[in-house]
Amino acid sequence: MKRLAYEKLIRIVGLICIVFIIGCGKESIEPADNVTEETVNEVNDDISKDSVDDLTENTTDLKEDMVDQESVEEEIPAVEEEEDQSLNIIMVGDILLHTPVEEAARDDETGDYDFDFIFENTKDRISAADIAIVNQEVIIGGEQLGISGYPTFNAPYEIGDALYDAGFDVVCHATNHALDRGKNGITNCLDFWRRTYPDMLITGIYDNEYDASAENIPIIVRNGIKVAILNYTYGTNGIEAPSDMPYAVSMLRKDRVIAQLDLAEQIADLTIVCPHWGTEYNLGISSEQEKWTEIFREHGADAVIGTHPHVIEPVVFYEDGDTDNITNNHGGGDMPVYYSLGNFVNWTAGTGTGVANRMVGGMASIDISRKDNGEVSIDDFKVESYVCHVRGGDGNVTVYPLEDYSEEMALENEIIRQDGSFSKEYCDRLVEKVYGTK
């Protein structure tokens, strides 16, 4: 209908223009040298009463079309005004693929891998977040480089499929295991992400100098809010970066960190730092973590979410002007710090006291919004507790919210064979000890 009305309108405008040119031309416009008065009279004669009648009919038809068009437009719902900009951001800890986890994902007949079972009980929560971040502890180098567990890890590409299908938006790769397969591990991993899931934001590893530069900050945009995700690791287990790719892994180097924080302060609405730091299996906070916390806060970080210790560590909220919990603080705004989220999934080969601690992980949850003055800030933050449930057989490694985990389920968790203290009650007590609440 829109096209028909438009075509009729064009015809009418054309006729009106001819009338106007001819009617006005006699009074005020001198004809060109090659246009005689006789030619003008012939044109005038061509505009007969029938042509005027046709014009009248076309005008009537156009009015009817316009009426019909208005009735169609009334059926289209009006676009609602944009709602207040707000986000829920979540992050989980280490995806630590020990050999038993990889074996549970492998089909013995076909040799194919499928890790979806890990996220069966958490996928809804992950996909519900506006931005979901995960710490991919081990490099995803693919079967070509050999699948392996501790101490030098390499994962099949299918774990990337599972992360994407679970609803994650950002993958942090700056870990102490990032160089376990050297340069090929880095390039294979990045090639996989670019080829298969180009919309996934990958941070912490690089295969070119441009992406690795301090001026290139990883930013994800949701609901009109720009969030910078800065990912660094304390080291790479003594493995040197490739000589032709010294920038392959994002390191906790003070000059680089400060440069990126200062730039993020200018171009992003909110900055989250995801450091791979701390002391393995330590439930407390190290002096090194406190030192970096001070640097992050001084240079404008809005939240810090840490990984690496493989156990949960405290969540501390530093208020604007608060200097009680941090030495030589130079200022900075409110900033929650999740010192370690622990493991999200793992099946360590370790035995003895403390192994049970590695089965409990945290999920950071942060709510942010844009205020009336245009600034974006944190409205609320919390930590949700999870437990990794492991049993022998295909697909029998999965993660449950701790609140949904029962004592009966805990008795079936094969980690009891490695640490007899593991139980639902034990997990509850651990969370209360570290977080101060269940």
How many CA atoms, within 13 angstroms, populate the side-chain half-sphere of residue 24? 7
Task: Return the minimum-mean-pLDDT range out of 16-25, 133-142, 154-163, 399-408.
Answer: 16-25
Choose the final residue of a domain: 15, 46, 75.
75
Q: Do 92 and 71 fall into the same domain?
A: no
Q: Could you list the residue range(s) of the whole structural domain that residue 167 is in?
A: 86-435
Q: Do 26 and 136 fall into the same domain?
A: no
Identify the pLDDT of residue 46.
45
Q: Identify the burial level of 332 via C-beta atoms within 10 angstroms of its C-beta, where 0-12 means exposed, 13-18 middle and 19 or more buried.
A: buried
Average pLDDT, the chain: 85
159 or 20, which is more confident: 159
Residue 80 in any domain: the answer is no
Q: Computed over its alpha carbons, how large is the radius of gyration of the chain? A: 32
% of the chain beyond a pLDDT of 70: 78
Return the bridge partners of 94, or none. Answer: 135, 343
Q: What is the mean pLDDT of residues 182-211?
A: 98
Q: Do 295 and 334 fall into the same domain?
A: yes
Distance of CA 70 to the CA centre of its chain: 42
Choose the final residue of a domain: 23, 50, 75.
75
Q: Which two tokens stand for residue 356?
A: 């049970």
Q: Do 420 and 298 fall into the same domain?
A: yes
Q: Do 47 and 128 fall into the same domain?
A: no
Asked whether the predicted pLDDT for residue 66 surpasses 70, the reply is no
Burial 105-144 (b: 16+ CB within 10 A, else e): bbeeeeeebbbebbbebbeebbeebbbbbbbbbbbbbbee
Asked whether the predicted pLDDT for residue 42 surpasses 70, the reply is no
Q: Identify the burial level of 70 via C-beta atoms within 10 angstroms of its C-beta, where 0-12 means exposed, 13-18 middle and 19 or more buried.
A: exposed
Q: Which two tokens stand for residue 320?
A: 């604007």
Q: Give the pLDDT band of residue 326 (cuts 50, 70, 90).
A: very low
Q: Which two tokens stand for residue 250?
A: 């994002």
Asked whether the predicted pLDDT for residue 38 surpasses 90, the reply is no
Q: Give the pLDDT band of residue 76 (cuts 50, 70, 90).
A: very low
Q: Which two tokens stand for residue 327?
A: 């030495």
% of the chain beyond a pLDDT of 90: 77
pLDDT in tens, 343-354: 999 999 999 999
pLDDT in tens, 365-397: 999 999 999 999 999 999 999 999 999 999 999
Q: Which two tokens stand for residue 66?
A: 């316009």
Return the bridge partners of 226, or none. Answer: 221
Asked whether the predicted pLDDT for residue 180 surpasses 60, the reply is yes
Asked if residue 77 has a cis previous peptide bond (ω within 30° of 0), the answer is no
328 or 334, which is more confident: 334
Q: Do 167 and 57 fall into the same domain?
A: no
As for how many domains the chain has, the answer is 2
Q: Residue 75 is which amino acid? A: E
Choose the final residue of a domain: 75, 107, 122.
75
Return the bridge partners of 305, or none. Answer: 338
Per-residue CA distances from 100 to 97, 193, 347 (Å)? 8, 25, 6
Q: What is the mean pLDDT of residues 110-132?
A: 98
- On whether the pTM is more than 0.85, the answer is no
Q: Do 69 and 177 fall into the same domain?
A: no
Asked whether the predicted pLDDT for residue 57 surpasses 90, the reply is no
Asked whether the predicted pLDDT for residue 424 surpasses 90, the reply is yes
Identify the pLDDT of residue 320.
80
Q: Which residue in 279, 300, 303 sits closest to 289, CA to CA?
A: 279
How many CA atoms, within 13 angstroms, populate the side-chain half-sphere of residue 16? 9
Residue 430 in any domain: the answer is yes
Residue 262 in any domain: the answer is yes
Q: Is residue 72 within 8 Å of residue 1, measured between CB atoms? A: yes
Q: Do 147 and 288 fall into the same domain?
A: yes
> Do the bridges between strand 225-233 and strand 219-222 make them parallel or antiparallel, or are there none, so unpaired?
antiparallel
Continuous segment of H or E residues that includes residue 221: strand 219-222
**Dist CA 155 CA 142 (whole Å):** 6
